[in-house]
Amino acid sequence: MAWSAAHHREGVTIGLVPTMGALHAGHRALIKAARLSCDAVVVSLFVNQAQFGPKEDYSRYPRKPNADAALCKKEGVDVLFAPPVEEIYPDGFQATVSVSKLARRWEGEQRPGHFESVATVVTKLLTLVRPTAAFFGQKDFQQAALIRRLVEDLNLGARMIVYPTVREADGLALSSRNVFLTPAQREAAPVLFQALKAGRAAIRAGGRSGTNIQQVMRKTLVAEPLASLDYLAVCDPDTLEPLARVRDRAVLLGAIRIGKIRLIDNLLVKC
């Protein structure tokens, strides 16, 4: 990107917020954080087909280009970078980037190939835009952990900022996919955050057994008939491996399905 090269020459710092569009208040918080700490802000908008499984919702994924452009303008974004598919994947493209261990469990297990496609597209975006800092949401905890590793391992040169999850008043993490929930499903959806909070309460009450904490979360979840469980786990926040015993820190990871909608969330807990 010639724009980035010129800005780097002038010592301008660039913040990049990678998104798939259908921007909401969670994305807006990342944009504001970038605005506060960088001179210039780039929001990328690319619905990366490669990271959707064959049975997933690529064609149905919400797209709101006009509203996205308006939000970016209002937030003082300098560049809305919405590359055409050929710019990211030119003819003959075949490179992939994998972050093997961090991609193995949880979302990686439920969505084969997903993280390889995420790592590949993020590598492309970071090398095209060459930001000083890149902003990601804690909402996608495993993705953020994996990208942190990727940036460090491949010396991609961006400072990695992970911003806390923005939630609705009832605790549901904002997500572009929430628009697909029917009113009844929307009412049921906060159960995931409630389950994670029950796990956090158990830790705060002195619980240390990973299995027990997981059971506490599960009990809250199964009380909601509209929700079906993909996983609820008590993990090391750096390796994302399950913890038999919680020592000083844990991340509680969860994924559920409500109807056809898949929701993920997490909570970091310090003892």
Count each helix (H run) and each strand (E run) in the chain, helices first: 10, 8
Give the span between the Cα atoms of 185 and 167, in whole angstroms: 16
Per-residue burial over 140-164, b = 16 or more CB atoms within 10 Å of its CB, e = otherwise: bbbbbbbbbbbbeeeebebebbbbe
Site string for ligand AMP, 176-205 (x = CB under 6 A): x-----------------------------
Q: Which range in 4-12, 70-78, 170-178, 226-234 contacts ligand AMP by CB under 6 A?
A: 170-178
Q: Is 166 in the site for ligand AMP (CB under 6 A)?
A: yes
DSSP designation for 176: G
Smallest gap, in angstroms, from Cβ of residue 107 to ligand AMP?
12
Residue 27 designated active-site: yes
From 32-40, 152-160, 167-175, 255-263, span contacting ligand AMP (CB under 6 A) = 167-175
> Which residue number, 168 or 236, has a Cβ lying nearer to ligand AMP?
168
Q: Write the interaction track for ligand AMP spanning residues 16-45; mark x where CB under 6 A is met and - where it is not.
A: ---xx-----xx-xx---------------
Question: What is the separation, in whole angstroms, between the first and last Cα of the chain?
Answer: 45
Q: DSSP secondary structure string, 87-137?
A: HHS-TT-------TTTTTSTHHHHSTTHHHHHHHHHHHHHHHH--SEEEEE
- The residues that touch ligand AMP, with contacts defined as CB under 6 A, are 19-20, 26-27, 29-30, 136-137, 139-140, 163, 165-166, 173-176
Q: Which sequence positions are flagged as catalytic?
A: 27
